[in-house]
């Protein structure tokens, strides 16, 4: 049974979401502040975090930023902050989704289910291979067995969303992937208003993958993985 943590200081919202998710078959623990969920993570890692932003003892964005330094789990921001810059900031922190209040609890359940399908589906479809690529002096190993990426033998920590995007780019390295296709296949988004989210994740990926030209921007179209395969792919 998947374990979900909800951090929301409004008790009615927190309990309403908890009940809907429990009816959908998840184990759910709710927290009214950051201190309590921080302590919970020290004991047990959840499978998904649903995180409010404005809390009595701190900022949810900052909490997730700190959490990401040690733990990689899917995150949904659930907040009243509706400005585009806030949404973009949430995805810059590696969020898998961002839902604004007021919202339908049924919609939230569907988004949770979609995230778990993507995460678990990615594990099920791994081909059990290591793919090795070169770009300039960089060597990238994309290990589907261990679910790890390394550059010059240094493991690069990727979020679940970043892994899905890189996997999609590598799988389709012979062609340009439009932003809309990345959004649809990796996030189930279809609206053009979300295209900046693809740009944000690509920016984060490039920062983590170092100075080597792994991902090419094709202006007006999208992105393409341009590392070339070398002998040793297993």
Determine the 3-state secondary structure of 165 from DSSP. helix
Mean of per-residue pLDDT scores for the chain: 87
> Which pTM was predicted?
0.69
Burial class (CB in 10 A: 0-12, 13-18, 19+), 176: middle
Domain hosting residue 83, numbered range = 3-124
65 and 166 co-located in one domain: no
Flag whether 120 is in a domain.
Answer: yes
Please name the residue that has the structure tokens 């290990």: 143
82 and 164 co-located in one domain: no
- Please, which pLDDT band fits residue 192 given cuts at 50, 70 and 90? low
Q: How crowded is residue 37: how many other Cβ atoms within 10 Å of its Cβ?
A: 23
78 and 171 co-located in one domain: no
How many domains does one find in the chain? 2
Boundary residue ending a domain (63, 91, 124) = 124
12 and 91 co-located in one domain: yes
Flag whether 174 is in a domain.
Answer: yes
Boundary residue ending a domain (89, 104, 124) = 124
For 54-100, the pLDDT digits (tens) are 999 999 999 999 998 888 889 999 999 888 888 888 888 888 889 98
8 and 111 co-located in one domain: yes
170 and 112 co-located in one domain: no
Secondary structure string (H, E, C) spanning 140-157: EEEECCCCEEEECCEEEC
86 and 140 co-located in one domain: no
Greatest Cα pair distance, the chain, in angstroms, is: 58
Q: What CATH number should be reported for the domain holding residue 107?
A: 3.40.50.2300
* Integer Cα distance of 87 and 84 in angstroms: 5
pLDDT, residue 126, reads 47
Q: Where are the beta strands (DSSP E) in the chain?
A: 3-7, 27-31, 48-51, 54-55, 58-59, 75-79, 97-100, 130-135, 138-143, 148-151, 154-156, 177-178, 215-218, 222-225, 228-229
94 and 184 co-located in one domain: no
Flag whether 94 is in a domain.
Answer: yes
Flag whether 234 is in a domain.
Answer: no
Please name the residue that has the structure tokens 């989704």: 97
141 and 29 co-located in one domain: no
For 87-123, the pLDDT digits (tens) are 888 888 888 889 988 888 888 998 899 888 877 765 5
Please name the residue that has the structure tokens 């809907």: 20
8 and 119 co-located in one domain: yes
108, 99 contact by CB (below 8 A): yes
120 and 131 co-located in one domain: no
Mean pLDDT, to the nearest integer, of 4-23? 94
Q: What CATH number should be reported for the domain holding residue 166?
A: 1.10.10.10
Flag whether 60 is in a domain.
Answer: yes
9 and 117 co-located in one domain: yes
> Does residue 175 surpass a pLDDT of 60?
yes
For 146-161, the pLDDT digits (tens) are 778 999 999 998 887 8
Report CA-CA distances (Å) from 223 to 19, 79, 203, 206: 41, 31, 11, 12
Flag whether 26 is in a domain.
Answer: yes
Boundary residue ending a domain (124, 149, 167) = 124
């Amino acid at each position: 049974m998947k374990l979900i943590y909800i951090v929301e200081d409004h008790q009615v919202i927190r309990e309403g979401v908890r009940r809907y998710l429990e009816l959908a078959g998840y184990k759910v623990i709710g927290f009214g502040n950051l201190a309590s969920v921080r302590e919970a993570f020290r004991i047990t890692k959840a499978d998904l975090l649903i995180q409010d932003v404005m809390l009595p003892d701190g900022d949810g964005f900052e909490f997730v930023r700190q959490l990401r330094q040690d733990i990689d789990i899917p995150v949904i921001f659930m907040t009243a902050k509706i400005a585009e810059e806030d949404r973009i900031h949430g995805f810059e922190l590696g969020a898998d989704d961002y839902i604004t209040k007021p919202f339908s609890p049924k919609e939230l359940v569907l988004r949770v289910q979609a995230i778990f399908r993507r995460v678990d589906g990615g594990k099920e479809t791994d081909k059990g291979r290591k793919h090795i690529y070169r770009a300039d002096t960089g060597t990238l190993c994309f290990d589907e067995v261990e679910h790890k990426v390394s550059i010059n033998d240094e493991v690069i920590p990727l979020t679940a969303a970043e892994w899905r995007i890189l996997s999609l780019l590598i799988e389709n390295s012979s062609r340009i992937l439009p932003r809309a296709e990345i959004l649809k296949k990796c996030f189930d988004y279809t609206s053009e208003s979300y295209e900046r989210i693809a740009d944000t994740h690509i920016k984060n990926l490039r920062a983590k993958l170092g100075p080597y030209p792994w991902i090419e921007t094709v202006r007006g179209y999208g992105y393409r993985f341009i590392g070339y395969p070398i002998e040793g792919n297993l």
